Copies of this chain bind each other. A is one copy, B any other.
Amino acid sequence: MAVYTELAAETLEAFLGTYDIGTLVSFHGIAEGVENSNFLLRTTEGDFILTLFERRVNAAELPWFLGLMQHLAGRGLNCPLPVSDRSGTALRSLADRPAAITTFLPGVSATQLDAKLCLELGKVLARLHIAGEGYDAVRPNALSPAAWGPLLESCGESGDALSPGLTAEVRKALQNVEAAWPVPDALPRGQIHADLFPDNVFFQNGQVSGLIDFYFACTDFLAYDLAICLNAWCFRDEKTFEPSFAAAIIQGYESIRPLNDTEKAALPTLCQGAAIRFLLTRLYDWINTPADALVTRKDPLAYLRRLRHFQSVSHV
């Protein structure tokens, strides 16, 4: 967790002068997100989040992300709404970085998950998928199965130091998942969040009050987003699968958007794929992040356990 860029009040005040959102009352760098610098702004008109895009996010893709958030917010989803300046531009530049102001969302992330929260998560995921309809620009998933092989090979055998035999095990799993992966038109596609972990979901009074961090969003199988959530929300202590959580997510999802039989049948494969995707990016970061760096490294093995779980089931 880090704020990468420091910002002078005078710089920010001048920047805000080009918007119609009041004058600066206070601002604080917030320790959230590892990819970007985020500031909580209070102006005389309200609260906002200012994001300076630091790295990983490709600046050329920012209009797609901001456009998606505008589309989703316009269709009633509680996601950050990019705010345009007086000239109508939402994507700006500040401190030599791409920058955007969005609305502030109330609510807090849950760390003690339960089936009720999972039910609400499932509902909002389906609402997100429906709200994404009509946003026709396609952003291919940069972390799709085609990317996993090269990512695994770029890690060499380093994973074996974490768990003996890991590289061979993941290589085999990847072959199986690639062979079973649905062809592009086999399942309903649309805009997916692709990173809807508990820290990206705000709750208030047991209801979802906001979804944040859309910078992995892309166009892919809707059911793959569900598979990511089943990975991210259903393992207690990063270890033990909680069938009641998974059932609640699916129940919530289907109460808004029922899955078809092909999606249901594909879920174990999609869940294995999602486990591989997070295993590989965590492994890559593990290898490439110094142990004492600013960013907390996340344990790749938590996803090896998930992978093995989803390999062991015939339906989720």
A interface residues, Cβ below 8 angstroms from B: 1-3, 8-10, 12-13, 24-32, 40, 42, 105-112, 202-204, 290, 292-294
Q: Which residues of B contact A203 (CB under 8 A)?
A: 9
A-B pairs, 8 with minimum CB distance: A9-B108, A29-B31, A8-B111, A3-B31, A28-B30, A10-B112, A25-B106, A26-B106
Of B31, B112, B202, the residue contacting A26 (CB under 8 A) is B202
Q: Which residues of B contact A108 (CB under 8 A)?
A: 9, 12-13, 24, 26-27
CB nearest neighbor in B for A112: B10
A213 to chain B, nearest CB (A): 14
Question: Can you sample 6 A-B contacts with CB below 8 Å?
Answer: A2-B31, A3-B31, A26-B107, A28-B31, A30-B31, A292-B293
B292 touches A9 (CB 8 A): no
Q: Which residues of B contact A105 (CB under 8 A)?
A: 26
A29 touches B3 (CB 8 A): no
Q: Which residues of B contact A202 (CB under 8 A)?
A: 26
A9 touches B111 (CB 8 A): yes
CB nearest neighbor in B for A32: B28
A204 to chain B, nearest CB (A): 7
Cα(A294)–Cα(B10), bound, Å: 26
Q: Which residues of B contact A3 (CB under 8 A)?
A: 1, 31
Cα(A10)–Cα(B109), bound, Å: 9
A113 to chain B, nearest CB (A): 10
CB nearest neighbor in B for A210: B26
**Known A10-B112, A290-B292; contact A107-B25, beta-carbon cutoff 8 A:** yes
Cα(A278)–Cα(B275), bound, Å: 51
A47 to chain B, nearest CB (A): 8
Q: Which residues of B contact A204 (CB under 8 A)?
A: 25
CB nearest neighbor in B for A25: B106
Q: Which residues of B contact A293 (CB under 8 A)?
A: 292
A112 touches B30 (CB 8 A): no
Q: Which residues of B contact A42 (CB under 8 A)?
A: 106
A132 to chain B, nearest CB (A): 25
Q: Which residues of B contact A1 (CB under 8 A)?
A: 3, 29
